[in-house]
Structure formats: structure tokens, C-alpha cells
Copies of this chain bind each other. A is one copy, B any other.
Amino acid sequence: MVNKLFEQDLQVINVGLSSFADSIQQAGAKSLQLDWRPPALGDKATGEHLAALVNQPDVEAANRIAFDRFMLAQPVLIGVASARDGVPDFGERTLLHAGPPIEWKRMCGPMQGAVIGAILFEGWAENQITARGLPASGGINFAPCHHFGAVGPMSGVISPSMPVWIVKNEDRGNLSFSNLNEGLGKVLRFGANDPSVLERLKWMAATLGPAMDAAVKVLGGIELRPIIAQALHMGDECHNRNAAASSLLFKKLTPALLKTDFPQGDIAKVLEFIAGNDHFFLNISMACCKSMLDAGHGVPHSTLVTAMARNGVDFGIRMSGAGDAWFTVPAPMVDGLFFPGYSQADAAPDLGDSAITETAGIGGFAMGAAPAIVQFVGGTPQDAIAYTREMLHITMGVHSGFTLPPLNFNGSPAGIDARKVVDTGIQPVINTGIAHKDAGVGQVGAGITRAPLECFTQAVNALAVSS
């Protein structure tokens, strides 16, 4: 037996530290590195907590309920209103922001810039200096968008007079919200707040929002899952690529808008604005995902992840069975392609509520259906498919409504199970825009990042301790 072994070429499978395999390769033999990490990265306490949640009837039952509610959600865009009028309990002097809770002093540059812009837009201060004094003196109530059923890309700042999309889950009645997309260039969500930005926000509040509300009401609401489903067959993943979804929405809105009594000049300007913005659907996609995930939130014992969000300083997740808790760690930097003249040194850490799309099984999770996106976020079309396949290991199932043609029309991996993330060490993939770290510079690139594992171990530990 031993003799026979030495007659053959060495066939080595290495588990664990890859440096053991290096010396074998240096000696001229082949070795295969097994892509495996011990559950909970070998942390004994977490491993025991994890074991206490696996194949437990109450957890399994809770997850079935949470996943079904998530999957049965029927988000319908029902209108547009000011946050003040549309979002329940939205107080005055309140500003919502992206990600988990954060106080003014700790906010990143783009978020502080957006806050200043929102204060000027609302007329709560007359200039940049007095505007900056307001939050510093405690004159603003800050809250995460997520605490109000809302989501906002990048800094995600929403003030009372800003128009918001209103999405209703027809299955369970929960409402969700997002602001309207401003386009690219100098925009509030990247912290720009000069007069051109405020002027656009005023036009959006006075004309775009009411026009959208009127068009949506002519249509009697717009079902959102079919638009996303169709866009996934047209090369979108509905996070960083919304070219198809924005076009499909435009085709629905246009004839409806022409049936309203808005002046033709306003209609022309509104439609030109939408036609010029391939990301117009992003905020609606996010509100749709929020709508589906909120339906699955709040089921005791469930390990369904219902939000992943970043404020540019912290990365946080929420889990169905963990109520209002956030599990946060410092936000990672994004590995990406930078626009000419910019580099990693210019970038803010990961920012925005838009990872709600990945949480719902689209965005980075559906990249396999959007090969053209790799020109924006880097990598190859094969990488994009590999990301989607990898995510199948950490989700509770696949999305019944969102099928991916390049994967033989299999459903998109959907419903992240915090246990599976901790067990496999596979971190949820997120594709994202990259903001400049300073206010108002704007987007400097796009790329791929991963949700930090530690958020999920926190969530698993918290649930295990409370169970």
C-alpha cells in the first residue's frame, strides 16, 4: 500500500492554512486548496450558539413564516407625497439618513453635506454656516430611514418637504418609502448642496413629485415585482444597473402622465428628466425590496436578515427575530473601479441603504443576470455568475418571482439566513457605487464589497442568548 503510494504522483488536498500547500507546490507537486473555513471562523462560543439554532423546530418554523411573508409580498407603487404627509409619524425638524443610527459628529463627509443641504432646502437656516450650527447644537432629530419604513441611496437624507415614493405591500398592508432619484453629477445624496442642487430639489418637490403621483394614480398603482422580473431578463440587477427597469417604468408613466391635466411644458420637462437618468428606478427598487423584507420582519426566533445598511461609518444588519436591534461594525472600504483621477484614497467607506436590494435577492445576488454590469463594478461576466451561485449557499431559498436567464431561469438567491452566513463564512456580496469621502464631490467609482461577517455573528449570538 505504502509502496503503491510512492509510485504515483502526489495528489494533495490542503485544508486550512494555505501556506502548507505553498511548500508542496514549491517542491513541484500539485495541491488543491479546499475553500473551507470552520463554522463561526472557529470561535467556540459562537459555534455553540450557532449549533443551538440549527435544526431547532422553533427557528425552522419561524423562518418558514418569515420567508413566506417575504415571498408573498406584493409591493405596489401607490403614489408620491411629501415625507411630512406620506410617512407616518414623520416629525418636524427631523432628518432621516442611511444606515444604522449615527450622531451628527460621527457622520461621514457626504452625509454631513447632505444634512446641510436638507437644512437649507427646508429653510431652517439661511446659509452654510448657520446650517452647520443647527445639528451641532442638537437642533435636528436624526433617525435612520429604516426606522420609518424608508430607504435612501448613499447618504439617504430625507427631509419633511421632500417627495417620497409610497409603496404598499398588498399582501400584508405594510408601507415603505424612498426619496426620488436626482440623477448623477452634483446631487444631495453624495453631499452636494450648492444652489443648483437645492434648485433641483425644489423642482422635484413642486413638479416632479406631484406629476409622478398623478401618473401613478391614473394607472391605479404600479405592481413592482413584474417590472423587476422583466428587468432581470434585460440585463439589470436593479441595484447598480437599472437601465431596463427605468425604461420600462418610463414607458408606463408616459401615457399616464399625458392623461393628466399637467401643462405640456411640465410634462415635457418631467419626461426629459426621467429619460436622462438610467438610475431613476433605483429608489423604487429599494422601496420594493424594503416592502418585501419588512413583511418578513419581526417573527420571533427567525434568522432571516431583513436589512443590510451602511451610513459611511458603520455597517449594520437587522434580523427578523431580533426586533429593532442593529448589529453593527465599522463599514468596509469598497474594492472597485475608480473614475479617472480618483483612487481608493478618495473614497468614503461603504454607504447607503441600497444594500436592501441584496438583502432581497437582487443587486449583487442577481449579478449573474446582468453581465454588462462588470464594466461598471469590475470583474468578468463569469465572476458575476459565480457571485450569484455562491449566494445560494447562504439564502433560505430562491425568489419565486425573480428568475435569471443565464442560470437557466433559476430563481435568484433570496432570503439571507444569518446562520448560514456564520456557518459557511460566506459573506453576502454587495455591488455599490463609491462616494467621495468629502461632501459634494459625488461618485468616484463603483465596485464590489462584502457584508462584514461580524454583524451576522453578533445577530446569531444575540438570538441564541435570548432563546
Q: Which A positions have Cβ atoms within 8 angstroms of B?
A: 230, 233-236, 243-244, 247-248, 250-252, 254-255, 258-259, 264, 267-268, 271-272, 275, 371-372, 374-375, 380-382, 405-406, 408-409
Contact = CB atoms under 8 A, between A and B. Distances in A.
A406 B370 CA distance: 9
Nearest to A373: B405
A409 to B, nearest CB: 8
30 contacts: A230-B243, A233-B372, A234-B235, A234-B236, A234-B243, A234-B244, A234-B372, A235-B235, A244-B244, A247-B248, A247-B251, A250-B250, A250-B254, A252-B275, A254-B254, A254-B271, A255-B271, A255-B272, A258-B264, A258-B268, A258-B271, A264-B264, A371-B405, A372-B405, A374-B405, A375-B409, A381-B406, A381-B408, A381-B409, A406-B406
Nearest to A267: B258
Contacts of A272: 255, 258
Residue in A235, A380, A382 with the greatest tally of chain B CB atoms within 10 Å:
A235
Contacts of A380: 408
Q: Number of copies of this chain in the oligomer?
A: 2
Contacts of A236: 234
Contacts of A247: 244, 247-248, 250-251
Given A233-B235, A244-B244, A255-B271, 10 more contacts: A234-B243, A244-B247, A250-B250, A250-B254, A254-B275, A255-B272, A258-B264, A258-B268, A381-B406, A382-B408
A259 B250 contact: no
Nearest to A404: B371
A180 to B, nearest CB: 18
A324 B413 CA distance: 55
A258 B243 CA distance: 22
A329 to B, nearest CB: 34
Contacts of A375: 409
B406 A371 contact: yes
A251 B247 CA distance: 7
Contacts of A275: 251-252, 254-255
Contacts of A235: 233-235, 244, 405
Contacts of A374: 405
Contacts of A408: 380-382
A267 B236 CA distance: 29
A264 to B, nearest CB: 6
